[in-house]
Amino acid sequence: MKIDASIFLDFLGSVLQARQSQNDTLPFYDFKAHILLLMKSARSLHGLQETHCNQGLSPKEERRGKTIAHKAALSAQALGFSLYVQGDPRGSPLYLLPIHITREEAPRFYSSGIAVPY
């Protein structure tokens, strides 16, 4: 299921406006770089999840998936969110969640977040 990128970008645009009104120090080009990294990570993870479903992953592919997820989590944190990695290839692999939702709580609340398009 492909996620509509316009909804995601509208949401992040409103987040950027709110952060700028609070005199946040994250420049626009950094904000854009984090968004692009999240979208690229979602594409890569989706491909790995499909491979995992169809034939399984090699140890190298598993390490790659963990590295991608870690970098995406750092970008989400820089934007003021926490990140949930959904392992089912039928939907979005990444969800941005409010920062107060912990890693342990994320599986129960990811539907309250916003899917990162891939």
pLDDT, tens only, 39-98: 999 999 999 999 999 999 999 999 999 999 999 999 999 888 999 999 888 888 999 998
Q: How many domains does the chain have?
A: 1
Domain span at residue 74 reads: 5-16+27-115
Q: State yes or no: pLDDT of 29 exceeds 80.
A: no
* 21 occurs within a structural domain: no
Q: What is the pLDDT of residue 59?
A: 96
DSSP 115: E
Residue 34 covered by a domain? yes
85 φ/ψ angles, rounded to the nearest 5 degrees: -100, 115
Q: Which of 90, 99, 94 is nearest to 114 (CA)?
A: 94
22 lies in a domain?
Answer: no
Residue 46's pLDDT is what? 95
The larger pLDDT score, comparing residue 102 to residue 60, is at 60
Closest by Cα among 90, 94, 82 to 118:
94
Give me the phi and psi of 25, to 5 degrees please. Answer: -95, 0
